[in-house]
Amino acid sequence: MQIDPAALSRADSASTSIPSSKSAAPSASATQKSTKALISVPRLDLEPIYTELKAAIGDNWAEYKQSTALFLLGHLNQSEFASRVDPIICADPKTEHLHNNFICAIIGNLTRDLPDHGVASWVSANDKPTVVSKPVSGDAAEQRLKAEVMQLPPRDRRRIKAIPEPDPSEVVRNELEEYHQAKQIKLPSQVPASAGGLNKTNWELEIRKRYAQPLASETGEFPDAESIHARMIPICYEESVVSGAGFPCAEFMAIATETFVKEVLSTVFARTRSNGPSGTINGMVTRKYRRQLEREELAYTRGEIVKDSATGLLPVEAKEAATRQPLGVRDIRLALELGGGLLGHNPLVVDQIMGGYAKDELEAERQDRMDTVVDGVHEDPRPSCADEMEIDEAGWEWEGGTPADREQLGSLLDECLSMAA
């Protein structure tokens, strides 16, 4: 059989051959795609393993479930998880085997088909996660809120609209962090030079003026409003409160300081002094002094005696005032020991008073030490160049025991050693 070459080069044959090649290409690609489709891998059935494990564990299922959940979330390490779960699952080899199968099945399902949405039907109601219902906002609530907003003045509505909505992605800051940030000192904002040159204040120089002011304990004078105001201005600059200290504020602080000192002194006088002048509040009065004071008051009303022109006191009051000792650290310490609340908001001052020396107490203690050293030198006949270790061990005795007691203790120890031998 011979083929005509001209028939192979005809236009109709060429036109028909091209579509046939185009139609064959999609069919081949579809067949290739169908062969590369993903193979579905069924999931492992956890229902029988779950049921057997829950029945084997019994009453400890809640603790087992909680411990496993905390371990998977990273709240427990391996040792903590083992300390909780080992007493439950290791008591019986069968329970341990079921636990291992259950964990392996869960891990195996991670590489298989996705599970159905929701909780499995065979999970008991006790193990299902609790779903928190969202608040329902109906049309009535929205209309009521809209009516309340529309009743506000236009200025308040504009202010509410200007408040930016909180970003839900922003992490809530800790209260301790906010408190720490609030206490950080920031210098006042500098005014640009274009505003008239108002930024020429040297804040560091103003702050240093606080430490240049003399203290009241150094000058020995009670602080007045001017000195308090001169100290408050640098403190305000240091705390970034510009122009925060006015002179009326300093006057108020001076009055408050004077009132506080008067209250403390009156409390100390009432707790440590007796037989005060007439009109003293909460003062201790002896019976003899009270009787004499009543007699002199009656005599003064009759005109038989007169009060002192300088102090305005009766003779018995002037006599007590002349013999009364001034206040000291010992009196303040006694007032603090009798009752608290006197200087409770100044713990450093209280510790200094309670732990310090009273008047002439330090000198008396030093004198006692010097007398003890001198007596020891006169009584000790040994030379001063003796060994330090021998001096330390010379006084190694039984405190409170006599030589007879030490001999009795030695004989008792000898008897114990002889019985042991």
User: How do residues 291-343 score in pLDDT, each as one tens digit?
Assistant: 888 888 888 888 888 888 787 888 888 888 888 888 888 888 888 888 767 78
CB 43 within 8 A of CB 114: no
**Residue entry with tokens 């000792």:** 325
List the beta bridge partners of residue 284: 274
Q: What are the tokens at 371?
A: 């007398």
DSSP state of 77: -
Burial tier of 39 (Cβ tally within 10 Å: 0-12, 13-18, 19+): exposed
pTM: 0.39
pLDDT in tens, 17-28: 444 444 444 454
41 or 131, greater pLDDT: 41
Q: What is the DSSP letter of 126?
A: G
* pLDDT digits 0-9 by tens, 347-396: 888 888 888 776 677 778 788 888 887 766 555 555 554 455 544 545 55
Pick 273 or 121 by higher pLDDT.
Answer: 273
